[in-house]
Structure 1
Amino acid sequence: MANQPKLFTPGPVDVFEETLAALGNPVPYMMHPEWLAAQAETGQMLKRVFQTENSVFVATSPGSGAIETGVASLFQAGDRVVAVRNGMFAERLIQILNAYRCEVIAVEGPWGRAIDLDRVADILRQRPDIDGIAVVGNETGTGVRNPIRELAQMAHERDAPIFVDAVSGMGGYEIPTDKWGFDVVATSSNKALEMAPGLGIISANARAWEIVERKTPTAHRGWYYNLHTWREALERPAFPFPTTPATTNIAGLHASLKRILEVETLEGHWARYAWAQRVVRTGMAAIGFETLAPDAVASPTVSTFCKHPALGAIEELRDYLRDQHNTLISTSGGPLLGQVARISHMGKAGTQEYVVPLLLAVEEFLRTQKGIAVPLGASLVGLEAEARWY
């Protein structure tokens, strides 16, 4: 785009220069030794981000493709799957489970709140015959983190697997796959891994592979969205991919992961996101916006704000920022349609170069469009408490 806007959208995100440079290089050939070495290193770096010793597979697909791969490989028709239902992407996960003819046992919760573990426990007492638990770890539509560690414990107490949709969480805060016992975890390239869209990423542990191997031969798994296909390809040195991989995108992911792990460090990456979350949430609250998610479960990757009392609709703010400041934020869907604004902290949106102008632009909107006497800089109050800026 000739006049690229600043992205505060929760995917895609504005990526850093190292990644853009890698994406702008000539298209790599998938069997060239240099690219194969970078591809292998990408897999090792992803293991560090996932905090796992499991194999990690990178597919040409959106995050939803990785989710479908996990569901199709872990569950089969008739399986009784407890699914957390408290947001827009929880609804999508349930749609995928239904598409594979699972018996979905939904645990309902209000949008904007983490799921109540007591409700989950009640369901599990009523249904001791479950075949697994499925959960969106970080609800992008509401800015809420669900208690995935505790849910994994509940699943394993019943010798059942847990599937975690970590599309907007992985990389943005600590998600220790092995330590917390997640059987299958799915994510994508275009959120907290700070790359362009196009790559679905999935890991599976030994328990998951045992389940995959003992599934009935008639279980509908498909071919591409099937962990069997990916593992067989990985074990074939002559061509270790099921299909031609998205070589340019993987080169971009390689560059992004090198930046995260070697320039920022993984802990530093998490710290930057947490910093941006605190500064934006504090600043927006200081000028009259209510946060949707309570602090204790607020996502470090995206924050959701209820509309200001002076606004007729949240779209007024979205459109002003787009038209006057070439800055894009998101609204939400479902019962939150027209009610909330979503502001991402991923990619460059998690830097002072982006955060400070955004907050000042929101102030300007309230002053010039709504006649509210917001003191200049009132939204920057959160910066005063920070020992470090990013």
Structure 2
Amino acid sequence: NGVYGERISRIASAYKFNKVELNYDWCERPDIKQIENTVSKDSDIEVVAMVHHETTTGLINPIHEVGAITKKYGRTFFLDSVSGLGGEEIDLANDNVDICICTANKCIQGLPGLSFVLLKQNEVDRMRNIPPRSLYFNVISQLDEQEQKGECPFTPSVHTFYAFEEALDELLEEGVQGRLSRYKKASSYLRKEFKRLNLDLLLPEELLSNTITALYLPENMTYAHLHDSLKERGFIIYAGQGELNKTIFRIANMGELTMDNLEALIANLQEVLSE
């Protein structure tokens, strides 16, 4: 139900995996009953993969419900939480997530360019019996090298690792719940102000994440004009993707953004809209 879910499908195709695709509108959550019906009737399905926070629209997918299905039928739950971990509620054990793909940037607030995987021990054991399809992206060789030698098997981006360590220290200092609370407060403020400025949300608020808000472009204003006008004032927004690229724009509140920053954004956005 978005660009990144579709990317998972493309990756599966690149590796020539047999797959069953369940496609949904980008503005809707997956149909839980359809997922369970599909999984229960097809014993060849070993892994269920989905995106946690689909930043195409800012939509949060129902990971707990899907995790309950994979546990019930003994399947592996593969979750892309690149834009979710650190910004959304997630409990890997309670949500029955077996493999979770994450990144150092986004809600962890480190630098892009470093990813990591959280996975259960039984998945590690299972992977040891599967011939690797990549030299560099071999989870087992990466894990063994780190556990046996305390290092990466190939030269890493060292400064990115140092930045990641600092970002994790800052997350622990703030506390995960503290960061979630800050993000919720920021997104709530922004959405209230967007409504005051007569900007329409793409999604109902109950579907939205804590960190991304997708909005319809104002009438008689192009994205290029809105983007460039805000950039001149020191603010960067992001375009819609795919079929939404001409109708919406997106604003994030990830990162070390203060309320002063957000209030300044709203003041400048109001100026641009009134020109």
Could you state the TM-score of these two structures normalised by the residue count of structure 2? 0.94
1:357 aligns with 2:268: no
The two structures, once aligned, show a CA RMSD in angstroms of 1.6
SS at match of 2:107: coil
Name the structure 2 match of 1:230. 142
Name the structure 2 match of 1:170. 85
Name the structure 1 match of 2:274. 367
* Residue identity in the other structure for 1:356: E
In the TM superposition, what whole-angstrom CA distance separates every residue of 1:129-187 from its partner, at most 9, and x where no partner exists?
31110001000111000001111111121111011001111111221112222111111
* Residue identity in the other structure for 2:33: D
User: Is this contact kept in 1: 2:55–2:83, CA < 8 A?
Assistant: yes
* TM-fit CA distance, 1:116: 2.0
Q: Distance in 2 between matches of 1:271 and 1:364?
A: 29
Where structure 1 has 5 or more consecutive residues not aligned to the other structure, the ranges are 1-85, 369-390
Where structure 2 has 5 or more consecutive residues not aligned to the other structure, the ranges are none
SS at match of 1:293: coil
2:222 to 305, 313, 317: 313
Name the structure 2 match of 1:265. 175
Q: Distance in 1 between matches of 2:223 and 2:210?
A: 22
Runs of 4+ in structure 1 over 3 Å off: none
User: Is this contact kept in 1: 2:40–2:73, CA < 8 A?
Assistant: no
1:196 aligns with 2:111: yes
Name the structure 1 match of 2:231. 322
Aligned length in residues? 275
* TM-fit CA distance, 1:341: 0.9
Name the structure 1 match of 2:65. 150
* Residue identity in the other structure for 2:16: R
Q: Distance in 2 between matches of 1:118 and 1:335?
A: 27
* Residue identity in the other structure for 1:336: L
Counting only pairs closer than 5 Å after superposition, residues 275-354 of structure 1 correspond to structure 2 as 275-308=185-218, 310-323=219-232, 325-349=233-257, 351-354=258-261
User: Is this contact kept in 2: 1:89–1:139, CA < 8 A?
Assistant: yes
1:274 to 177, 184, 189: 184
* TM-fit CA distance, 1:336: 0.8
User: Is this contact kept in 1: 2:142–2:153, CA < 8 A?
Assistant: yes
- Taking CA–CA contacts closer than 8 Å with sequence separation of 6 or more, which of the two structures ends up with the larger relative contact order? 1
* Residue identity in the other structure for 1:245: P
1:185 aligns with 2:94: no
Q: Distance in 2 between matches of 1:362 and 1:115?
A: 33
User: Is this contact kept in 1: 2:83–2:106, CA < 8 A?
Assistant: yes
SS at match of 1:347: coil
* TM-fit CA distance, 1:284: 0.6
SS at match of 1:107: coil
In the TM superposition, what whole-angstrom CA distance separates every residue of 1:28-67 from its partner, at most 9, and x where no partner exists?
xxxxxxxxxxxxxxxxxxxxxxxxxxxxxxxxxxxxxxxx
In the TM superposition, what whole-angstrom CA distance separates every residue of 1:246-283 from its partner, at most 9, and x where no partner exists?
22111111112212211x22211110111111111111
Q: Distance in 2 between matches of 1:178 and 1:247?
A: 31
SS at match of 1:164: strand
In the TM superposition, what whole-angstrom CA distance separates every residue of 1:348-380 from its partner, at most 9, and x where no partner exists?
34x212110111111111211xxxxxxxxxxxx
* Rg (Cα) greater in structure: 1
* TM-fit CA distance, 1:113: 2.1
* TM-fit CA distance, 1:126: 4.1
Q: Distance in 2 between matches of 1:340 and 1:122?
A: 34
Q: Distance in 1 between matches of 2:97 and 2:114?
A: 21
Counting only pairs closer than 5 Å after superposition, residues 62-211 of structure 1 correspond to structure 2 as 86-211=1-126
Paired-residue identity, %: 26
